[in-house]
Structures are given as structure tokens and as C-alpha cells.
Amino acid sequence: MTNTTTVHPRTQTTTQSTTMTMRSTLAPQPSPIPTGTYTVSNGTRTCIKAVMGLQLMAQNTEKKQMEYMAVNPNATETSGSCGMVQSELTITFSGGFINFTFVKQAPTYYVSKIETRLQLPSGGMLYYGTIQKKLFTTKLGNS
């Protein structure tokens, strides 16, 4: 007598995954604001040296949204005045200017006023603003 074993072929079923991998959409990152060095001198003596990036914002009343403008430091002109108690730094750029008034009141130094005029590139609208407030207070020599 002979034993016989029958091997039945296996059927392999492959199931395709119906699960989708969702990747989140990243919000666009804002461009970095370029940093410039702005100085005001009285002869050989520098009275103001500001190292900063400038980004101005204004409400576009026609579009009802905020608009932002980064100032390119390579396309600016710097002017100002040096005083014993008060000094001015004006940075002029395409579309406007920004002026900082610095006050020396021992033992501190601070910005007492910021004034700006800005023309938004998108709508050509002209904006003017002034802030008169004690800002960026620091000890003399530590600015």
C-alpha cells in the first residue's frame, strides 16, 4: 500500500492598502528681513549706530488687510543730526522714510519718537504715522 499526500497549491492574496498618507501643508515661511547698519556722525564722532532689520506694515484700507514691506538696507540713504541731548536718525528708502529720535537722559538713552511715511507698492496708497513713546531704553554705552 502506498501513501499519497496531495499538496494543494496555496493561493496568496495581496490586498492593496486603501489608507492614504496625508502630509500636512506647511505654511509659507516669511522671507528673512535683511539687516543693515545705519550711522549718523558729527565729523569724526559717531553718535548713532543702529544695526537692525526694518519691516514696516500698514493697513491697506481698500483690500482691508495688513501689508508688509521689508526695507532693503542696500537701497537706503541715511541722514540725521547729533545733539548733546537729542539725536536723529532718518533712513530714506524707495517708497518712504523712517525717522528715529534718540534722547540721552543720564543714565539712560532711549528712542522718544518714531515717524514714518510709507507708500505701499501694491496700491500706491500713502501712509503716515508717528509714535511718541519711550522705547528701547538702555544704559549709556550699552545701546
Predicted local confidence at residue 31, as pLDDT: 74
Tally of CB atoms within 10 A around 136? 13
Predicted local confidence at residue 21, as pLDDT: 52
Instruction: Check if the beta carbon of residue 99 is closer than 8 Å to that of residue 114.
Output: yes
Predicted local confidence at residue 112, as pLDDT: 95
Tell me which fold the domain 35-139 belongs to: Porin (2.40.160)
Closest to 105 measured CA to CA, from 89, 88, 84, 81 = 84
- Beta-bridge partners for 116: 98, 129
Instruction: Check if the beta carbon of residue 56 is closer than 8 Å to that of residue 68.
Output: yes
Instruction: Check if the beta carbon of residue 35 is closer than 8 Å to that of residue 51.
Output: yes
- Helix (H) / strand (E) element for 63: namely none
Task: Quote the pTM value.
Answer: 0.74
Predicted local confidence at residue 96, as pLDDT: 92
What does each of the 143 residues of the chain score in pLDDT, given as a tens digit? 444 444 455 555 555 545 555 555 555 556 788 999 999 998 888 989 999 999 988 877 777 778 888 899 999 999 999 999 999 999 999 889 999 999 999 899 899 999 999 887 776 677 888 889 999 898 877 65
Predicted local confidence at residue 97, as pLDDT: 95
